[in-house]
Structure 1
Amino acid sequence: MSVQPLINLLEQLDQVHMNMLDLAELKKKAIVDNQVDSLIQLMNQETKGMKQIEQLEQQRVSAVYQFLQESGIKSQLNLNLTELSRLVFDIEDRKKLLHIQNQLSNTLARLKVANDLNQKLIEQSLSFIDFSLDIMVGRPNQDVTYQHPSERSSVMGRPGLFDSRA
């Protein structure tokens, strides 16, 4: 009854998440530099990484179930790694399992921070674009319905960048 296949899968998961962290850094630079084509390519790479993570996650669940079966536990318990480590009697294997758990947890925390920052940068970019469009073409909440010229108020807002009466 070896936990090594699970440790190997967790190391692979950590590596893929590290790659995602690298992509997040490149994505931040693309957002700041307004490189839309580069951003699209990076997002495509992220999608591939997410599919890889999904596959590894399924393999991880199978490896945990296999380990539990080998340990004589017949039910499909949903154990976290700390609880699972209590079932590992080899001290070296337990140390490896807890080490990779800590490493993966740190990588995921760093990835979350990077993704949150990128989300805020994108929201700020969109707000700036919206603000710029409002300045250029006028407010979207202006009345668009027809009014007879005599019924219009004497103070009219400028409808957009160009004045058609000029």
Structure 2
Amino acid sequence: MTLTPLLEALERLDEAHIQMLDLAVTKKQAIKENKVEELIKILNKESKLSKLIEQLEEERAQAAYIFLQGVGIRSNLNLNLNELSRLVFDLKDKQKLLDIQKRLSGTLQELKEANMLNQQLLQQALSYIEFSIESMSYYSETEATYHHPAGKTVGVQRSGLFDSRA
């Protein structure tokens, strides 16, 4: 009934999420500076790290299952760390488990906030691009083609972005 494999899995999960948080900070800077190539590299790193986190999550679940079997629970319960800590009777192990839970929870909260900020930045960038495209495509197709000056009528209004007479 050792808790060590579970604690180690949780530690590795926290480290992986800290790496993901570092990438989120780097991504924010790349978005602000409009560095598309760097953003693509960051997304590739995030993808690889996500796969690692999935593997670590499986290890954590397996370690929790083994721990539950060690304390006499034979079913495959999916307990959260608070519920699991109630089954730990060694005070040192219980404190270690609660400490890593607190750290992991804090890291996940920071990561969630960073991802929300990056999502907002990307949404603003896309809105700006959409606005720019709409403002540039404001002219009708007839205004964009050449017409002989003799064929124009005198009272034509301009709807351009700039008034060259000013």
Verify: 1:125 aligned to 2:125, yes or no: yes
* C-alpha distance after superposition, 1:71-106 (max 9, x if no partner): 111111121101101111111000000000000000
Q: Report which of the two structures shows the higher radius of gyration computed on alpha carbons.
A: 2
The amino acid of 1:82's aligned partner reads: N
CA contact (8 A) 1:136 1:161 kept: no
- Identity across matched positions, percent: 52
Q: 1:65 maps to which residue?
A: 65
Quote how far apart the aligned CAs of 1:160 are.
5.4
Deviates more, 1:76-85 or 1:93-102: 76-85
List 4+ stretches of structure 1 deviating above 4 A. Answer: none
Q: 1:28 maps to which residue?
A: 28
Cα 1:60/1:26, change in 2 over 3 Å: same
Cα 1:131/1:77, change in 2 over 3 Å: same
The amino acid of 2:57's aligned partner reads: E
Q: 2:162 maps to which residue?
A: none
* Alignment counterpart, residue 163 of structure 1, candidates 141, 144, 149: 144
CA–CA distance in 2 between the matches of 1:3 and 1:160? Answer: 71
Quote how far apart the aligned CAs of 1:39 are.
0.1
How many residues of Structure 1 are paired with residues of Structure 2 in the alignment?
147
Quote how far apart the aligned CAs of 1:165 are.
3.4
Structure 1, gaps ≥5 residues long? 139-157
Q: How does 1:87-102 map to 2 (within 5 A)?
A: 87-102=87-102
Verify: 1:56 aligned to 2:59, yes or no: no
Cα 1:80/1:133, change in 2 over 3 Å: same
Structure 2, gaps ≥5 residues long? 148-166
Superposition TM-score, scaled by structure 2 size: 0.86
CA contact (8 A) 1:137 1:160 kept: no
Root mean square deviation, CA, Å: 1.3
Q: 1:3 maps to which residue?
A: 3
